[in-house]
């Protein structure tokens, strides 16, 4: 077993190491039955402001929006199914076949996994349990699904005992998706009818459909292929594929009232920032809500300005450069540890000041990198 110390953080402070701007190389969609469409943008959504009754908003004067509306018909994705890296690899394979060449990278993983790694220095409750394997010099990293399922269950049990009488964890999760459906259109503005725009509150909410962007990016000496969901585009994707895409990330958060709430929100901003930074999402739109789930107002953040805002005007609960430098060092650690055949477990337990890596038996490397993807990479 090898360990990587998180503390002391001072060794990651200072200017940030080099970063490669994330560029979308390809993408895929899941439809509302979770059917995968590699290379398709059929589930791409377009941002159009929700109608909130607040001064200056397009919905000023309208009745308040209850984010609980339609909870009974929520079509929720079943996260007890282990999806591994399958859709990412299937799409990458289709893309490489189309291009006739492979996309080189040191690491292939989901954006959500990199978010957990990046935020580890400042998020004491952050836990992860990953499986990693090396194939042809590239490290593929997935979540160990058994631990993820246990994690979801314990979060649920926890919130049941803490939230007696208050909204359930399921309801609060629904609010996030409901906000998305109030703020999105399935067509560009110009093609959407007034009816579609006006009737978004009546639309059933589902968390099965997704548009996922696959990007190449890099932190320090490590190049990566990352896949992750993007909520929407502002306007449209640019014609020139080299131009940055005006992506929008939507979030909900309880409207901060007290100073304690401000600190809580600042900690949330760490996750919002890291998640969006990794895919190159330039804008985050937060729907502030009341404790009982009424939408109160919108707040826009430019992703790249969040770290300096937290440092200058906030309580300084986290530092973006430290996260980037930590991630670079962590990736070096992973590359030097995960070599040859076999599967490594990379884990961080709550409040631990270190990350552990050790080889595990009983996890088939082919469950991480599929036989079809291996065969494809052996040929191209
Ligand atoms: P909010 O975070 O806005 O409340 P995302 O913001 O990543 O697009 O995810 C959309 C919604 O999925 C979230 O809305 C939240 O309701 C739910 N969600 C995302 N990640 C989650 C997690 N780790 N645990 C529980 N719910 C999550
Ligand atoms: Mg999303
Ligand atoms: Mg979102």
Ramachandran angles phi, psi of 57, nearest 5°: -95, 155
CA–CA separation, 67 and 296 (whole Å):
10
Indicate the SS3 state at residue 103. Answer: coil
- What pLDDT, on the 0 to 100 scale, is given for residue 159? 61
Taking the CA of residue 252 as reference, the ligand 1 atom at the shortest distance is 3
Indicate the SS3 state at residue 291. Answer: coil
Closest CA to 314 of 261, 240, 250, 359: 261
Q: Could you say which ligand is closest to the alpha carbon of residue 175? A: 1
Closest CA to 284 of 185, 366, 180: 180
pLDDT in tens, 114-172: 999 999 999 988 899 999 999 999 999 999 998 876 766 666 666 665 667 889 999 99
Tokens in use for 209? 């459909």
Tokens in use for 304? 């790249």
Q: Could you say which ligand is closest to the alpha carbon of residue 209? A: 2
Low-confidence ranges of the chain (pLDDT < 50): none
On average, the pLDDT of the chain sits at 95
Closest CA to 103 of 300, 301, 376: 376
Tokens in use for 121? 């220095």
Ligand 1, atom 23: nearest CA belongs to which residue?
Answer: 152
Ligand 1 close to Cβ of residue 173 (< 6 A): yes
Ligand 1 close to Cβ of residue 176 (< 6 A): yes
- What pLDDT, on the 0 to 100 scale, is given for residue 320? 98
CA–CA separation, 306 and 284 (whole Å):
10
Any bridge partners for residue 126, and if so which? Answer: none
pTM of structure: 0.96
Taking the CA of residue 287 as reference, the ligand 1 atom at the shortest distance is 3
CA–CA separation, 76 and 331 (whole Å):
33
pLDDT in tens, 39-52: 999 999 999 999 99
Let me know: does 315 contact 120? Beta carbons within 8 Å: no
Q: Which residues, including other chains, have CB under 8 Å from residue 261's CB and lie 6 or more apart?
A: 254, 255
Show the DSSP H helices in the chain as ranges: 86-99, 111-119, 145-162, 169-183, 194-198, 259-279, 306-312, 320-337, 365-368, 371-379
What ipTM was reported for this prediction? 0.96
Indicate the SS3 state at residue 17. Answer: coil
CA–CA separation, 339 and 342 (whole Å):
8
> Which of the 8 DSSP states describes residue 49?
-
- What pLDDT, on the 0 to 100 scale, is given for residue 54? 82
Ligand 3 centroid distance, CA of 231 (Å): 6
Ramachandran angles phi, psi of 130, nearest 5°: -115, 155
CA–CA separation, 339 and 176 (whole Å):
39
Ramachandran angles phi, psi of 83, nearest 5°: -90, -5
- What pLDDT, on the 0 to 100 scale, is given for residue 321? 98
The number of CA neighbours under 13 Å toward the Cβ of 331 is 29
Helix (H) or strand (E) holding 252: strand 247-254
pLDDT in tens, 177-209: 999 999 999 999 999 999 999 999 999 999 999
Q: Alpha carbon of 228 to those of 124, 195, 210, 247, 249: distances in Å?
A: 24, 31, 9, 12, 12
Q: Which residues, including other chains, have CB under 8 Å from residue 196's CB and lie 6 or more apart?
A: 185, 186, 187
Q: Could you say which ligand is closest to the alpha carbon of residue 230? A: 2
Taking the CA of residue 173 as reference, the ligand 1 atom at the shortest distance is 16
Ligand 2 centroid distance, CA of 251 (Å): 8
């Amino acid at each position: 077993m090898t360990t990587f110390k998180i503390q002391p953080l001072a060794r990651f402070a200072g200017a940030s190491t080099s970063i490669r701007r994330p560029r979308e190389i390809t993408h895929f969609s899941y439809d509302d039955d979770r059917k995968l469409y590699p290379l398709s943008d059929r589930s791409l959504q377009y941002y159009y402001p929700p109608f909130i009754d607040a001064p200056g908003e397009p919905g000023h004067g309208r009745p308040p929006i209850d984010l609980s509306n339609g909870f009974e018909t929520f079509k929720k994705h079943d996260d007890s199914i282990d999806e591994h890296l399958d859709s990412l690899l299937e799409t990458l394979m289709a893309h490489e076949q189309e291009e006739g060449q492979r996309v080189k990278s040191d690491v292939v993983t989901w954006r959500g996994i990199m978010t957990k790694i990046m935020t580890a220095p400042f998020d004491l409750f952050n836990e992860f349990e990953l499986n990693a394997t090396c194939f042809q010099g590239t490290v593929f990293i997935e979540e160990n699904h058994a631990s993820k399922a246990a994690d979801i269950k314990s979060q649920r049990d926890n919130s049941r005992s803490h939230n007696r009488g208050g909204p359930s964890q399921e309801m609060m999760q629904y609010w996030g998706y409901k906000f998305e459906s109030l703020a999105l259109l399935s067509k560009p503005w110009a093609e959407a009818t007034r009816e579609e725009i006006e009737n978004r509150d009546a639309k059933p909410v589902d968390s099965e459909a997704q548009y996922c962007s696959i990007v190449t990016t890099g932190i320090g000496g490590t190049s990566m292929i990352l896949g992750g969901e993007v909520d929407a585009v502002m306007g449209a994707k640019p014609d020139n594929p080299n131009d940055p895409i005006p992506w929008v990330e939507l979030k909900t958060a309880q409207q901060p009232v007290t100073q304690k709430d401000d600190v809580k929100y600042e900690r949330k901003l760490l996750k919002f920032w890291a998640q969006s930074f990794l895919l190159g999402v330039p804008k985050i739109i937060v729907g502030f809500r009341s404790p009982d789930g009424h939408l109160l107002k919108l707040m826009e953040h430019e992703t790249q300005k969040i770290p300096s805002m937290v440092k200058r005007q906030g309580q300084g609960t986290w530092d973006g450069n430290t996260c980037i430098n930590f991630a670079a060092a962590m990736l070096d650690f992973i590359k030097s540890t995960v070599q040859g055949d076999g599967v490594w477990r990379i884990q961080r337990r709550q409040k631990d000041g270190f990350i552990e890596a050790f080889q595990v038996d009983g996890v088939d490397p082919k469950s991480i990198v599929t036989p079809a993807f291996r065969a494809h990479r052996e040929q191209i």
